[in-house]
Amino acid sequence: MTTSQASNPLGPGYENVAGSVKRFRDVFRDTLRAEMHRDEDVFLMGEDISGGFDRDTKEPLDAWGGPFAATKGLVQEFGPDRIRDAPISEAGFVGAAVGSALTGLRPIVDLMYFDFVTVAFDQLLSNAAKSRYMFGGQTRVPMTLFARSGAGTGHAAQHSESFYSMLAHIPGLKVVVPSDPYSVKGLLAAAIRDDDPVFLVNDKKLINLDGFVPDEEYIIELGKGRYMRRGRDVTLVGMSYTTVVCQQAAEKLSELGIDAEVIDMMSLSPFDEDILIESVQKTNNVVVVDEDTPRASMASEFAAVIADKAFDYLDSPVKRVTGPHSPVPYNRDLENAFMPQPDDVVNTVKNSLGVG
């Protein structure tokens, strides 16, 4: 369905852009497909991504594309050489991806759940992120990794983490966090084309989110944030799904006469310091919303940058709304209490502004 100018939600500059409303998961898969057609050096590897093959004919089965259907149908289109099922050894196949990237290919690695990053952490920290530095710029590691993060879907403590700050801490590894179908298309394409390792984190709560996506090919520059809503009273800083939470909170605040600005930090390493400072200089108040636990989180890092570089513009302390310093609970009510909710953001803003 082509979206008219009146229903295009991307705002100024996109009034005459042709596009349609699509689901996040479909945009993700379509972007994988487009990048694999664009560059034959791109291939995909991960657990259960092809769906297997018929024992007799050796033909690909009707691939389910893994538990999130991110690669459904791609093996029929590109074959088993470019859609490669990996054994249950994240350290092994991430290491293989690093090696293939060093030889000139562009691997894309599906790590399924974000929690599984820890199993492959040595390959990411010691090899993927450091090779270009250790070889004096003579090598490159053009690999992309993706996995699903976040609570709220009943996947319990070992499948619901949002510790993207652990990855952002690593020099040489880029980290991006799309928040809607538009941003996942541009960030995934940019990540695949980048000559450094890039980790793209998808929150599970976004998978079925609908949004407007231009038909044209585009990339989003890594390291940039964007304004989702302009306001004058307070800046709400979101990342990944918390950008959605910030937008919902801004709607609630508008009913109270509070004009909130919403920033989407699409990239966590590098990240856009300028947009943070620019917004705070205007609104003089800021709340950072992060689903991660609070210690050494991206919320803490953003707050530190604001305090360091925009302190004189603040009318109130930088506030953070995060998950508690706890594993993600399985019980549904506790899980919902764990995640930052729009009302949590609203109450934090009211307290900051001294609004009853």
Active-site residue set: 90, 159
What does the DSSP 8-state code read for residue 329? P
Q: Count H helices, E strands: the chain?
A: 12, 14
Distance from C-alpha of 47 to C-alpha of 53, rounded to nearest angstrom: 14
Name the burial class of residue 65, with classes exposed (0-12), middle (13-18) and buried (19+) by CB atoms within 10 angstroms of its CB: buried
**Other CB atoms within 10 Å distance of the CB of residue 54:** 9
Buried b (16+ CB within 10 A) or exposed e, 284-320: bbbbbbbbbbeeebbbbbbbebbeeebeebbeeebbb
Distance from C-alpha of 185 to C-alpha of 219, rounded to nearest angstrom: 7
Judge contact between 313 and 281, C-beta under 8 A: yes
Distance from C-alpha of 60 to C-alpha of 184, rounded to nearest angstrom: 28
**Other CB atoms within 10 Å distance of the CB of residue 30:** 15
Structure tokens at 205: 């709560």
- Scan for tokens 């000139």, then name that residue: 104
Q: Does residue 231 come out as left (phi exceeding 0), alpha (psi in the -120 to 50 range) or beta?
A: beta
